[in-house]
Amino acid sequence: MILTVDIGNAQIKAGGFIGERLSFVLRLDTDERRTAGLYAAQLRELLSLYGFGGVSFEGAIVSSVVPLLLPVLEEALHLIGAPRVLTVGPGIKTGLNLKIDNPVGTGPDLVCGAVGALQLCNPPCVIFDFGTATTVAALDGSGALVGKAIMAGVQISLDALAERTACLPRLGVAPPGALLGKNTQEAMLGGAVYGAAAMTDGLISRYRAIYGESLTCILTGGLSGQIVPCCESEVTHEPNLNLLGLRAIYLRNS
């Protein structure tokens, strides 16, 4: 089994691949205070819970947007039995052509998402990743990463409303009850979720004007499941896109 680990700002997602099949997905909270031993114990417990307690690992690969946690998770993966742990960063072969300024500074999450997208479809394509931040990555017809956009995430927008206003409550992202709410909670969720979907539709329209109507649009990330039903554009939903990219990068470097 190949274990793929994607460390985000809010959550750590780990997926196990047996061949091409993603057998399980585990989620842990991102916490820079935890030690490698604690993460290893959590991973072992979750693996046992899902029926993979006695599995042997061929190796593992980690991508992180939280630099302090990268060595911690590397050690944790060794502790649970991964003999080889790769990390996405300078020096690793991704097969992705980066036609952007400062390719070395490109976030590993964007790289993994782009590589994952190329496993799903033929370019050109754009990837919307709805996580703590909302990011967009564009791949041209040759499969090269040619541009990106970064904006506040949906949860960040809701948090900002609660922090900067006297009467609005703090809410988590959830399916909106209506386009126009009949109470404060419905109004906030409708504005946040339908607003993100409308932004997505608008950007897709502009990207298709550049790359053509055949452009594939992929939505991923922890909050993407709330956005997809509210989109009017034709989109592909793949919540585990980065894990698919991590597996492809691991195989390229094996």
- With b for 16 or more beta-carbon neighbours within 10 A and e for fewer, the 129-149 pattern comes to bbbbbbbbbbbbeebbbbebe
On whether residue 92 sits in a domain, the answer given is no
Domain count, the chain: 2
Q: What is the pLDDT of residue 110?
A: 93
In the residue annotation, 109 being an active-site residue is answered as yes
- Per-residue pLDDT tens for 209-230? 999 999 999 999 999 999 999 9
Tell me, yes or no, whether 110 and 81 share the same domain. Answer: no
pLDDT at position 141: 95
Catalytic residue among 31, 101, 109, 159: 109
Contact 231, 103 (CB under 8 A): no
Q: Which structural domain, as residue segments, surrounds residue 71? A: 2-87
Strands 125-130 and 236-237: unpaired
89-124 pLDDT per residue, tens = 988 999 999 999 988 888 899 999 999 999 999 999
Which contiguous run of DSSP H or E holds residue 210?
A: helix 184-211
In percent, how much of the chain has pLDDT > 70?
100
Residue 178 has pLDDT above 90, yes or no: no
Question: Which one of 87, 114, 129 terminates a domain?
Answer: 87
Burial of 88 (0-12, 13-18, 19+ CB in 10 A): buried
Quick check: is 95 in a domain? no
Q: Mark the binding-site residues for substrate, compressed into ranges.
A: 107-110, 184
Q: What is residue 177's predicted lDDT score, i.e. its pLDDT?
A: 83
pLDDT in tens, 193-213: 999 999 999 999 999 999 999
Q: Are 24 and 37 in contact (CB under 8 A)?
A: no
- Binding-site residues for ATP sit at 6-13, 132
Binding residues: 6-13, 107-110, 129, 132, 184
9-58 pLDDT tens trace: 999 999 999 999 999 999 999 999 999 999 999 999 999 998 998 888 99
First to last CA, the chain: 13
Q: Show the CA angle centred on residue 38, arms to residues 33 and 39, nearest 5°.
A: 90
At 166, give phi and psi (nearest 5°).
-85, -30
> Domain end: 32, 56, 87, which one?
87
Task: Region of 143 please: left (phi>0), alpha (psi -120 to 50) or beta.
Answer: left
User: What pLDDT does residue 103 have?
Assistant: 82
* Predicted local distance difference test score (pLDDT) of residue 254: 86
